[in-house]
Chain A
């Protein structure tokens, strides 16, 4: 084994109400590529944010070359030789490569920028990284995404002593051949004895490039294995764990012959490829998959928020032409977005006005808005689904996440939508409010509504769904009845990339 450069021991981190990291460990050797994996919310990002100085740890030790260090800020992390490459490219597209790399540390001659020196240094750096096809004076916007990523890495390495590089989903935006380029670049960095933390959901990739893997789950350290000694299914098992902290549904009350209220056939768009499924009356259909699998995009197609390239939608066996959200609302489809603040609520408007927004047709007398009726309607839902608010007049902005979610729900209930799409309905909501939302959903299907539920939390899916459709890279990779669904087989379908299929 190579010499160890970094060790994190017994790391704890608390956020208000959440024990985000519980006794976490991580180690990294020089010239090692170490995969860090786990489900969304497992704590990978939090751990890496501590390492890169975004957060500070509440307990635990960080040892660099065997010496204890304290990382107070991202700047300190950089001085210690720790750099992070974020998933999104953080370059200024209209500036040159050199300008990007040395932003904030420009070479000066008196008051004047020393362009030549800056370009010379940049080219030296690029040459040393075998990136001779990128030049200092190239405008970043003319480079491919992969090359831009390499510029980001070069920027990280331009800090004198960078030896630890954290890469968060570096291949998310890359094509196959670009990934190959990135991998050979990473191998070159290995040879330079840079230690790399590699965060990714793509199992096949990990097999190719990583030396060791550390798995996290629910803010806890699960284990570290040598990549050579472990199979993908073993890793998945480590990720989802054996601990089952919510009772999954074991059987569905919905009969397979229940009437189909919604059917989508071969939906296609930029991010959705040939997705088809059916939704029965009174059913909760789970849409599973990892981030970026195309679940939200599919939902947005169904509710007319984005235009589809091709595909058909049938509502109660009748073909529906859904081109705008207006059409979808007319067809009785209500969408509860994953980002309530961005897509769900008019934060400045009152609770009552938000609930009334899709329902003004029924809340008016001639041309005049019936404010008294809006008030009655709002009060009805405040009582019925327990929205905690000082009153119907309170701006939606000042409500908590769970109550905001209920306001969005109320607006679709008042609209009497038969089909409700819940996109990550419990994200950012505390435990108590979560179970309230679950209860509401169960009541809804009991009353004959049908629900599509998108969630990244597998226990939630297993607990709520009658059937689960799993997506990966925009495709529906499988459909599981609740009886056969387990965290393991969902995860397997969710990581079934095209590449994996071909093997």
Chain B
């Protein structure tokens, strides 16, 4: 036993010797706490972050919880990173409420926080120096506009009657995350505005967007799955597909697109002439299955953010903030991609696999 202890001590000493002497002038250390790693979207963000870290010559630590419901893990990671006294933190909070105390701590300790992607909504004044994000409302409104450019769909809306209403489904991953809420709001508001030119509209489904009108010939139905797990999203998608009069569906992110595709035999049911061939579908974000759906014409198109730019700009903002420069919010933009333009170089760069 004694010998074992001695050996452990020996091992410890050798580890000690192996620690490199810290360089006199440390590069900036920036912690990136993202919302996940499993979606292709976050991989693109990470690539953007890494590119920026390289360009600016900073040390970067990137953390993403295994799933977007792992709030506790994200809080733990943030705690640990604050402990390391970073020069700046880039944060996409899963739940602002859960990290309120940590944000306060950063504010008190003078650690600048840069929000990115969905950012840190409702954070205390002055804690978030700037946010690099897509204006989700505008981005989602784009999908509503593009839907209403489809002539057959507009015809359908025009001819809708109270006894056989046209239903427009919205599949939103949750009703808590700022980006999902904004996208749904942006889409719903734009759709109501556009349809109202022809018909009365009722909004049903989740209470957040509720605006019911008795006997309206067009109904927008917002469906929120029980949990953000793909199985529950698939269930919600099935519920929408089984709604009588369903004519269009908007999916607000990559996760819900996956759910919808899972509910439609990987999208094959959306093929012209198949069970849901007439359905007008628009997506959001990218990823291989969604790109495939767009390329095959199963979707009329999808909105994409620029995750690479989000990642890159958030590091850029963080570096500036750490150096004491003034920073302000950046809109990272959105694009509409369809079967025609998906392979154009400037679009292809935005739609990650």
Direct interface between A and B, CB < 8 A = no
A→B interface (CB under 8 Å): none
B→A interface (CB under 8 Å): none
